[in-house]
Structure 1
Amino acid sequence: MTSVDVHPDPVPVAEASTADGTRYWQWGDPDAATTIVAVHGFRGDHHGLLPIVARLGHHRVLTPDLPGFGASPPFDDRRHDIAGYAGWLDRFCAEVRPPGATGRLVLLGHSFGSVISSAAVADGLSVDRLVLINPIAAPALEGPRGFLSRLAVGYYRVGRALPEPIGGPLLSSRLIVRGLSEVMATTDDPDLRSWIHDQHHRYFSGYADRRVVVEAFEASVSHHIGEYTDRLLVPTLLIGGDRDDIVPIAAQQRLARRLADARLVILGPVGHLIHYEQPAAAAGWIDEFLLQKA
């Protein structure tokens, strides 16, 4: 058995759309007391979090595609920035919040999704728990990969400025996607690496247009969770990787100390792809966190 075999292929309970057209999928127990809304990271779609979602089947889990990515339409009246996505997430949760007074709502965000989730809660979205995987704990432009992040900003801007026949293929280039995948994957398992590359090729270029991906990228490298710590008062679980050179351990530790009620778990060996490389461990910590009394 290879590492890839441990990634179960979940079957959604239902597929639906919200009033604004956001496409989302429901997994697990539809009658569970806890509803988890899982927010994926930059450039991907809901498929990225399924290895973790598959292991949380005793909860009700909802996986929307961010507006402009996957099957969800883009915004037509605002930018695809943190404020736009935070407002969208607040509206999404209002539509899907579990009925009755006893249902719990938990927000889970990975990478870019961790910033969106934090911003939404800081702006007033009421949730019972917050789970942040590979949390963006410090500004990407100032971190150990700050120079590369600035190069990437230039790449996305050039891709948007060029005529569509050139800029479009540049931004969705399989070569670029494979390079990003190679850089982010830390596993030495050749089968798992191959599976990760395939996932990125399948889902990393499913954005609506160049405007969406450039605006979202600029948002992803311009904001971090540290901007919202004084307004994040809910119990929070941070799950980081010991080899994450996008978010160093020291930055994650500083973030945990600044939060009112936070627990930091560092997994290893793994980098910024915990959802692909360590989904079972992540799901286990999430379950333990949700069992704790507030």
Structure 2
Amino acid sequence: MLIHGFRGDHHGLALIAHELRDRDVWVPDLPGFGSAPVPRAGLDLAAFTTHIQALCAAAESASGARPTLVGHSFGSVLAAHAYAHSPDISCGVGLLSPIVQPALEGSARLLTQLTRLYYAAGAALPDRLGSALLANPFIVRGMSEVMATSSDRMTRRFIHDQHARHFSEYADRRSLAEAYRVSTEHTVAEVAAELARTSGPLLVVAGDDDLIAPIEAARGFVADLRERHVPVDAETLTGVGHLLHYERPAAVADAIETFARTMDQD
């Protein structure tokens, strides 16, 4: 079960799903993104985690086995919280580019402040102006340029094309603002104690050139979990930033496959 990040949809994790061709892979859209509707009560952390728990239950019902739950970026936060509070939904959790610390505590504080102003303006402006700002192709391209670290021209072109096509496939401005609030107010570290109590296996895959989720924070998170006697497999991808699902999908899939095999043997 692959859970995408903020402003993404199922397309973002398609390359990893393709590499996991020997397994059944579910890549759903989160509520408010892609084709998934927004709950009547709106979006908060509970809405997302409840949705993921229901998806895992559906996958288990269809396959007869609990899924391996994997989340990227914002999806890592949602996956960690969903599993921490309902560990029976999955046999283990993978966290890709995990958000360990609040954005304002990271190394890219200025970028975070600008991003917050951007989403605040998008929510406050009249509908037409706000929507135009949020979907502005130059701003979307700028975000894509900041996150991409690959020097390969074809890879960068693909990343920018994917963001141009799918980064603005959200339900409406209100739900986008709600999702953004969740993404900035919660981290995987919040549930470290709960994850330790589950005693379930974890996988952490991070890039050492990630501006959004710094590698130092990921390493500290792994060390903390291991001190709590949590079985953690950790892999660092060299020269990769936040978009490891685009820049190194085969390596990420290999890590997930190896992790899943260990659980197959249990």
* Contact 1:141-1:222 at 8 Å conserved across structures: no
Report the number of matched residues. Answer: 256
* Residue pair 2:4, 2:10 contacting (<8 A) in 1 also: yes
Q: Which has the higher strand share?
A: 1
Amino acid at match of 1:72: A
Partner of 1:111 in structure 2? 73
Residue 199 (1) aligns with residue 175 (2): no
| Equivalent residue, structure 2, for 1:163 | 126
Contact 1:98–1:105 under 8 Å retained in 2: no
Higher helix residue share: 2
Report what 2:145 is aligned to. Answer: 182
Q: CA deviation at 1:99?
A: 5.1
Determine the C-alpha separation between the residues in 2 that align with 1:282 and 1:290.
Answer: 12
Partner residue in 1 for 2:24 = 60
2:83 partner amino acid: V
1:42 aligns with 2:19: no
> 1:50 offset after TM fit, Å?
0.5
Find 2:249's aligned residue among 279, 282, 293: 279
Aligned-residue Cα RMSD (Å) equals 1.4
1:87-98 equivalent positions in 2, closer than 5 A: 87-98=50-61
User: 44, 48, 59: which one pairs with 1:85?
Assistant: 48
Task: Point out the more displaced range, 250-259 or 92-101.
Answer: 92-101
Task: Provide closer, same or farther for how the CA distance between residues 99 and 76 of structure 1 changes in structure 2, counting only shifts above 3 A.
Answer: closer
Question: How far is the alpha carbon of 1:191 from its aligned partner?
Answer: 1.3
Picking from 142, 145, 149, the partner of 2:105 is: 142
Q: How does 1:17-28 map to 2 (within 5 A)?
A: none
With a CA cutoff of 8 Å and minimum separation of 6, indicate the structure with the bigger relative contact order.
2
**1:265 corresponds to 2:235:** yes
Which residue is equivalent to 2:85? 123
Shift of 1:98: 4.2
SS at match of 1:54: helix
Equivalent residue, structure 1, for 2:211: 245
Which residues of structure 2 form unaligned runs of 5+?
none
CA distance in 2, matches of 1:133, 1:118: 11
What's the TM-score, normalizing by structure 2?
0.92
Structure 1 unaligned blocks of 5 or more: 1-36
How many Å separate the matches in 1 of 2:144 and 2:215?
21
Say whether the 8 Å CA contact 2:80–2:188 is kept in structure 1. Answer: yes
Question: What code does the residue aligned with 2:253 have?
Answer: A
Cα distance in 2 for partners of 1:48, 1:258 equals 30
State how far apart, in whole Å, the 2-side matches of 1:151 and 1:269 are: 25
Hey, what's the Cα distance between the residues in 2 that align with 1:81 and 1:278?
31
Name the amino acid aligned to 2:58. Answer: E
Could you tell me how far apart the structure 1 residues matched to 2:238 and 2:51 are?
A: 33
Aligned residue type for 2:110: F
Residue 169 of structure 2 aligns to a residue whose secondary structure is coil
Using structure 1 for the length normalisation, give the TM-score: 0.84
Q: 2:69 and 2:140 mapped to 1: Cα distance?
A: 28
Cα displacement string for residues 194-221 of structure 1 (whole angstroms, at most 9, x for unaligned residues): 1110000001000010011111112111
Residues 70 and 207, structure 1, Cα contact 8 Å, conserved in 2: yes
Structure 1 runs (4+) deviating above 6 angstroms are none
Identical pairs, percent: 43
Counterpart Cα distance in 2 of 1:115 and 1:161: 26
CA–CA separation in structure 2 for the residues paired with 1:82 and 1:100: 27
Cα offset for 1:125?
Answer: 4.1
Q: Is the 8 A contact 2:15 2:245 kept in 1?
A: yes
